């Protein structure tokens, strides 16, 4: 199975599941449901978030979903995570193990449930190995200006 590019995995507000970005349409984007492989178009008014752009508040710095998914996959040996319908205390305990420094005042159980659902969708319908983002290497010009 090929690696998952989180930039192309989308969450759409008001829609269940995750979507794979396929292409730009004149009036929005064409996507495919990870679960059903059904294609659909979301207009420009749809609230769409790329998994690569989502991060979680911690007491130090925000942590990307990619890092969280990777930590979950390691802890769960790439197996499925608990259901988001589990007892909130169990969910919090799980995230304390995966992300001990999460900010308890700003990272709510509702967020944790969403991440569990997303992880399980990726685990089942995609890959928990992620495409590495190309490192931007500073050009010699930029380096000279900073020196």
Write the pLDDT tens digit of every residue in 17-68.
999 999 999 999 999 999 999 999 999 999 999 999 999 999 999 999 999 9
Domain count, the chain: 2
Rounded to whole angstroms, the Cα distance separating 13 from 43 reads 12
**Whole domain around residue 73: which residue ranges?**
54-125
pLDDT at 112 over 90: yes
Residue 14 DSSP class: T
**Contact predicate 19/32, CB 8 Å:** yes
pLDDT at 147 over 80: no
Q: What is the CATH number of the domain that holds 33?
A: 2.30.30
Element (H, E) at 118: helix 109-125
Q: Is 105 exposed, middle or buried (0-12, 13-18, 19+ CB in 10 A)?
A: exposed
| Same domain, residue pair 102 and 116 | yes
Model pTM score: 0.87
**Contact predicate 18/144, CB 8 Å:** no
Average pLDDT, whole number, for the chain? 91
| Same domain, residue pair 63 and 42 | no
pLDDT of residue 143: 37
| Same domain, residue pair 73 and 102 | yes
| Same domain, residue pair 108 and 63 | yes
């Amino acid at each position: 199975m090929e690696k998952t590019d989180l930039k192309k995995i989308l969450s759409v507000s008001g829609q269940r599941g995750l979507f794979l970005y396929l292409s730009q349409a004149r009036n929005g984007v064409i996507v495919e449901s990870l679960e059903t492989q059904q294609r659909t178009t979301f207009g420009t008014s749809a609230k769409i978030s790329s998994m690569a752009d989502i991060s979680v508040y911690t007491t130090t710095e925000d942590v990307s979903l990619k890092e969280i998914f990777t930590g979950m996959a390691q802890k769960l040996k790439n197996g499925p995570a608990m259901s988001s319908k589990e007892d909130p205390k169990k969910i919090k305990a799980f995230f304390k193990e995966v992300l001990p420094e999460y900010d308890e005042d700003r990272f709510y159980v509702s967020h944790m449930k969403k991440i569990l659902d997303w992880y399980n969708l990726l685990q089942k319908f995609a890959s928990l190995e992620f495409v590495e983002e190309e490192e931007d290497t500073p050009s010699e010009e930029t380096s000279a200006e900073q020196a």
